[in-house]
């Protein structure tokens, strides 16, 4: 039926075309008819399909009354968890174990018959005779020292520290030096040794020979240990943390023993191993003074905080501290305040004025508030703390070269200060900003090689990842807008906005540099002493930070309060010359002669006039060093036999 209807429709349509010319060819007519049928069927097909689906008419409101309902906003992706790049770690210090050996094992073997070679000189014969009588006395000592003793006495089988039946005067002097190791902040019990008395029983010559040989071996071992500790320190600083970086093994046990054996005066040789920096003698003097003093300490409880107008139960102690520690001019200016104070607890305006002057005298912000910074100048560091800090300073100085050089730069991190010395005189000193506790400045020494003017700042990967990457996840163009240049590892420059930062949650395969200019983090110049820690001295646009008392604020480098003056000093130029190089593109000037730089850490350090200053342990490095020293002394005590 359907086919009949379609054929009828097609025939009617063909007849309807009366105005078209007649088709004479049957084939052509047949093709036209099929074409008409096919096209008609194709045109009708969508209509049938549409008819099969329900139709919905969208109501259109007048344009002026259209209310657009916002679609649900697409959720922003959740922030990626960044794999933070952490700084170096502190270690649990492990002291090297000692060897417990018999003294006989350190000495050459004797002939089984006990016969003596007739050509041996007297002292060698005496030594050989003593070997046969040597008891199985045990000795605890470092393995390297034991090996050095064994090698020495195999090659030189004779006494060093006795002649005939008595200890030499040199041996007595050497033993006295070891007993006085405390003067260097060392534990004398680790070195001291009793000298055999002159008197002995003539009826027991064998026992005397054995006694002198035991004294010989033990004095040699203790003297070598003392030499190594005095020269390089008791503790290996590189085992304290990744922030410590010092050359080691500058003196070997073999060399120390060889020098002791050949020295006309062994005591004089040991003195040559002491640090030659003037501060070492000053620290020793301070240590002796502190140990002999019996003074009343003024200690204000930690956490005391007093604002003007408040009452404070520690105020009597604070006034006592002000009376003792205020400058003479300040004390005279406020004499009436001191005289009228009767022990009250009210922090009134007169005492506030006194505190402000005290703060000015000590370079503090004169706000009249007694907080932790002011307390640091008012409250005494306890005597025991001072002694320990001086002992630790002596140990740290032994890690350094014996001499700093006539020209050098010394940066003391806890003091927030950098000092330039020339001809052994401090000629320039300035405030510094050092690394935050989470970005600590390393402890090492190197040589200054160059000054860079108008520097680019090469952003470390730790800053890119820890601080910039979260911003780049939200805004890929962040670096482009803020004056940074991004390059691939091959050096090809890439727009920050064209990088899919979202792919990275850790180190990125790009280098980022900040262009020179007034906003550059390095300011106008940097002073380089190339090192693996990427630490250097530099300028900063954040000048206001130098007014703070606590200045552990950087990512690890050392910011200088007077960078142009320091650059002029190390280059041997004047500041006008340095200023003439500021502005424009980056340029480098090499020093004619490299200058040692010591990026140091001392919580006790003397001023040039010998006054000892004490500083906060901003990185807790005193604590870690103290633990390490206790570990070494503990091992030596436990194995002492």
Instruction: Report the pLDDT value the prediction gives residue 410, as an integer from 0 to 100.
Output: 98
Q: How confident is the model at residue 204 (pLDDT cuts 50, 70, 90)?
A: low
Instruction: Report the pLDDT value the prediction gives residue 363, as an integer from 0 to 100.
Output: 83
Q: How many residues are given for the chain? A: 641
The residues annotated with a catalytic role in the active site are 538, 557
Rounded to an integer, what distance in angstroms lies between the CA atom of residue 484 and that of residue 516?
A: 10
Strand 443-453 to 537-538 pairing: unpaired
Name the maximum alpha-carbon separation found in the chain.
160
Both structure tokens of 37: 């049928």
Rounded average pLDDT over 313-317: 92
The continuous run of DSSP H or E covering 447 comes out as strand 443-453
Both structure tokens of 529: 């002493």
Beta-bridge partners for 510: 488
3-12, 382-391, 571-580: least confident range: 3-12
> CA-CA distances (angstroms) from residue 208 to 123, 284, 326?
15, 39, 64
**Tens digits of per-residue pLDDT, 237-294?**
999 999 999 998 789 999 999 999 999 999 999 999 999 999 999 999 999 999 998 7
The backbone torsions φ and ψ at residue 511, rounded to the nearest 5 degrees and listed phi first, read -105, 140
Rounded to an integer, what distance in angstroms lies between the CA atom of residue 181 and that of residue 190?
A: 9
**Tens digits of per-residue pLDDT, 121-164?**
667 777 877 887 776 788 899 999 999 999 999 999 889 999 88
Dihedral angle of Cα 545, 546, 548, 549, to the nearest 10 degrees: 150
Rounded average pLDDT over 112-119: 47
Residue 447: CB partners within 8 Å, gap ≥ 6? 529, 594, 595, 596, 597
Task: Tell me what percent of the residues of the chain surpass a pLDDT of 70.
Answer: 84
Instruction: Report the pLDDT value the prediction gives residue 270, as an integer from 0 to 100.
Output: 97
Question: Looking up tokens 């002596």, which residue turns up?
Answer: 394
3-state DSSP call for residue 631?
A: helix
Both structure tokens of 453: 């003017």
Q: What is the pTM of this model?
A: 0.78
- For Cα atoms 127, 269, 404, give the angle at the middle one, nearest 5 degrees: 150
Checking if the pLDDT of 103 tops 90, the result is no
The continuous run of DSSP H or E covering 155 comes out as helix 143-155
Task: Tell me what percent of the residues of the chain surpass a pLDDT of 90.
Answer: 67
Instruction: Report the pLDDT value the prediction gives residue 302, as an integer from 0 to 100.
Output: 81
Alpha carbon 330 to its chain centroid, in Å, reads 39
Alpha carbon 316 to its chain centroid, in Å, reads 40
């Amino acid at each position: 039926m359907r086919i009949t209807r379609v054929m009828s429709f097609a025939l009617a349509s063909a007849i309807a075309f009366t105005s078209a010319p007649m088709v004479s060819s049957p084939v052509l007519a047949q093709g036209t008819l099929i074409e008409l049928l096919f096209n008609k069927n194709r045109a009708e097909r969508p209509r049938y399909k549409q008819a099969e689906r329900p139709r919905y008419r969208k109501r259109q409101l007048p344009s002026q009354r259209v209310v657009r309902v916002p679609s649900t906003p697409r959720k922003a992706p959740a922030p990626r968890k960044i794999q933070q790049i952490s700084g170096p770690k502190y270690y649990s210090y492990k002291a090297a174990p000692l060897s417990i050996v018999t003294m006989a094992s350190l000495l050459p073997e004797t002939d089984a018959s006990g016969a003596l070679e007739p050509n041996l000189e007297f002292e060698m014969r005496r030594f050989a005779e003593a070997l046969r009588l040597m008891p199985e006395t045990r000795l605890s000592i470092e393995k390297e020292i034991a090996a050095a003793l064994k090698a020495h006495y195999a090659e030189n089988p004779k006494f060093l520290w006795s002649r005939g039946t008595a200890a030499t005067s040199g041996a007595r002097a050497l033993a006295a030096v070891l007993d006085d190791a405390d003067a260097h902040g060392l534990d004398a019990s680790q070195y001291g040794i009793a000298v055999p008395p002159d008197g002995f029983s003539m009826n027991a010559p064998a026992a005397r020979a054995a006694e002198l040989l035991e004294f010989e071996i033990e004095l040699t071992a203790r003297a070598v240990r003392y030499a190594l500790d005095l020269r390089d320190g008791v503790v290996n600083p590189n085992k304290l943390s990744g922030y410590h970086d010092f050359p080691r093994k500058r003196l070997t046990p073999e060399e120390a023993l060889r020098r002791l054996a050949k020295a006309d005066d062994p005591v004089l040789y040991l003195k040559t191993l002491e640090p030659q920096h003037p501060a070492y003698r000053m620290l020793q003097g301070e240590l002796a003074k502190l140990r002999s003093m019996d003074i009343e300490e003024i200690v204000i409880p930690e956490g005391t905080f007093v604002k003007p107008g408040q009452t404070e139960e520690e105020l009597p102690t604070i006034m006592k501290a002000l009376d003792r520690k205020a400058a003479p001019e300040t004390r005279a200016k406020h004499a009436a305040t001191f005289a009228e104070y009767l022990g009250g607890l009210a922090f009134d305006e007169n005492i506030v004025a006194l505190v402000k002057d005290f703060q000015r005298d000590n370079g503090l912000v004169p706000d009249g508030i007694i907080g932790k910074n002011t307390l640091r100048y008012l409250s005494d560091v306890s005597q025991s703390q001072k002694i320990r800090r001086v002992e630790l300073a002596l140990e740290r100085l032994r890690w350094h070269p014996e001499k700093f050089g006539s020209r050098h730069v010394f940066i003391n991190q806890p003091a927030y200060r950098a000092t330039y010395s020339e001809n052994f005189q401090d000629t320039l000193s300035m405030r510094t900003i050092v690394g935050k506790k989470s970005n600590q400045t390393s402890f090492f020494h190197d040589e200054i090689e160059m000054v860079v003017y108008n520097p680019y700042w090469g952003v470390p990967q730790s800053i890119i990842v820890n601080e910039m990457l979260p911003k780049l996840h939200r805004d890929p163009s962040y670096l482009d807008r803020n004056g940074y240049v991004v390059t691939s590892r091959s050096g090809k420059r890439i727009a920050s906005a064209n990088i899919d930062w979202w792919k990275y949650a850790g180190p990125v395969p790009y280098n980022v540099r900040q262009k020179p200019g007034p906003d550059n983090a390095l300011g106008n110049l940097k002073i380089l002493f190339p090192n693996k820690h990427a630490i250097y001295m530099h300028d900063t646009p954040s000048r206001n930070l130098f007014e703070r008392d606590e200045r552990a604020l950087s990512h690890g480098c050392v910011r200088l309060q007077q960078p142009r003056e320091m650059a002029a000093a190390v280059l041997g130029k004047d500041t006008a010359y340095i200023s003439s190089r500021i502005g424009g593109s980056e340029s480098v000037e090499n020093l004619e002669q490299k200058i040692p730089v010591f990026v140091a850490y001392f919580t006790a350090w003397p001023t040039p006039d010998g006054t000892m200053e004490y500083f906060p342990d901003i990185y807790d490095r005193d604590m870690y060093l103290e633990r390490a020293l206790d570990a070494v002394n503990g091992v030596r005590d436990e194995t002492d036999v």
